Amino acid sequence: MISAVREVSVFGDAIAYFNEAAALLDLDPGIRRLLTKPSRQIIFAIPFTRDNGEMEVFTGYRVQYNFARGPAKGGIRFHPGVTLDEVTALAFWMTWKCAVVDLPFGGGKGGVTCDPTTLSKGELERITRRYAAELVEVVGPDKDVPAPDVGTTAQIMAWFMDTYSMHVREHVPGVVTGKPLEIGGSKGRVEATGRGVSLVALAQMHRMGIGTKGAKIVVQGFGNVGSIAAKLFVDAGCTVIAISDVTGAYYNERGIDVAGAIAYAQEHASLDGYRGGERITNEALLELPCDVLVPAALEKQLTIANAADVSAKLIVEGANGPTTPEADHIFAQRGIVVIPDILANAGGVTVSYFEWAQDRAGYFWKESEVNERLADVMLEHYGAVVELAQLRDIPLRTAAYMLAIDRVVTSMRLRGVYA
């Protein structure tokens, strides 16, 4: 295993991927500089009162990266590791994610530096409402549309929507997506990201001649994305041999009972104590021999330190930024195909777009219609990325970025730069 690990910011990794694709597009230097700067970064204090009466102050962020194709779009993350650098990178990725699947959105992201697992429901509500109140002037259905992300839920989106609506004195369900169905959410939204991951993974497996029956799948991260993707892989006839969450990784060569693992995680709030597989380290999970590896946890999981030991034939990025540029180059040299995050996990933002459109129309679709339209979007744009990759003899990631950047630049040129 290689021991030298380069320390670069998450945003630095994101820019490195952008630069590789931009170099092939012959971009105007001014446009290129503009695309590597966020439109707006907002940092603010979030004071709130704990249940015991003590005052606490957390830090909140919202980055609106680009508006060329429409209002900013991106999640709100509640996590102890939230930083301005991370949120900026995530907003940057959202810009290309929306563009690669041709949605009328720009990129945004937000977060609060906190550990939601240590907070009561009342404390979470107070934090969320203060966070929303700080952003009332800069969010809205035509400005910036947040959504759930790591550590946030449909309930948190409901509190955000209610706070915004109270401030503007009208009911505005379209200010956020990922809401409960009862107040304007979309059917199929909860499963959308994991469903999108499975759709493009199965399409690429078919292209690579990997049969679904008995195909060995490893899923890192067993939250909403990882668990849904794992279930859909099993439904397709694959065998999920390993799963993990923050408590550890669990391996079963004969196959994990994914439905049972989901039920266990829901009952116990984690996989801790799960007995359906041998407990292994997260490092060992990433290096298991398998057909498909789905990193669906956090950023920087596949690095120069472990890339040479990864034994998957195909990597499908369920998380944002799980692979560093150095690791990506090693995978390319070793012939390991990577479906990049901006394409692989775009199912969530696609159905968020559907929810936003349904809220604005006041008309809601059947779940079967949502899933059918999601499949159409994901597979159409996956096909376009594959076609460009083959035409230019480049990795799927570079092709995805080239398509996305070209769409954003076209919008910018048509609109012009107001100066």
Contact (Cβ atoms closer than 8 angstroms) between residue 21 and residue 405: yes
Residue burial 338-376, b: 16+ Cβ < 10 Å; e: rest: bbbbbbbbbbbbbbbbbbbebbeeeebbeeeebbebbbe
- The DSSP call for residue 323 is B
Reported for 269-274, long-range contacts at CB under 8 A and 24+ positions apart, including other chains, are 270/245, 270/246, 271/222, 271/243, 271/244, 271/245, 271/247, 272/247, 272/248, 274/250
Catalytic pick among 109, 216, 231, 313 = 109
φ/ψ of 58, rounded to 5, equals: -110, 175
Q: Which residue, 247, 288, 291, is CA-closest to 271?
A: 247
What are the b/e assignments for 132-141, b being 16+ CB within 10 Å?
bebbeeebbb
* Residues 112, 388: Cα–Cα separation, whole Å: 38
Which pair of structure tokens corresponds to residue 222? 């067993």
Residue 340 contacts residue 317 (beta carbons within 8 Å): yes
What are the residues facing 107 on neighbouring strands? 66, 73
d(CA 128, CA 134): 10
Under 8 Å between Cβ of 416 and 409 = no
Specify whether 109 is catalytic.
yes
Count Cβ atoms below 10 Å from residue 217 Cβ, excluding itself.
Answer: 30
Query: How buried is residue 102: exposed, middle or buried, by Cβ count under 10 Å (0-12/13-18/19+)?
Result: middle
Strands 55-66 and 106-113: antiparallel
Residues 6+ apart with CB under 8 A from 292: 201, 205, 210, 215, 216, 217, 218, 233, 238, 312, 313, 314, 315, 316
- Per DSSP, the three-state class of 275 is coil
Q: Give the residue numbers annotated as catalytic, written as ranges.
A: 109
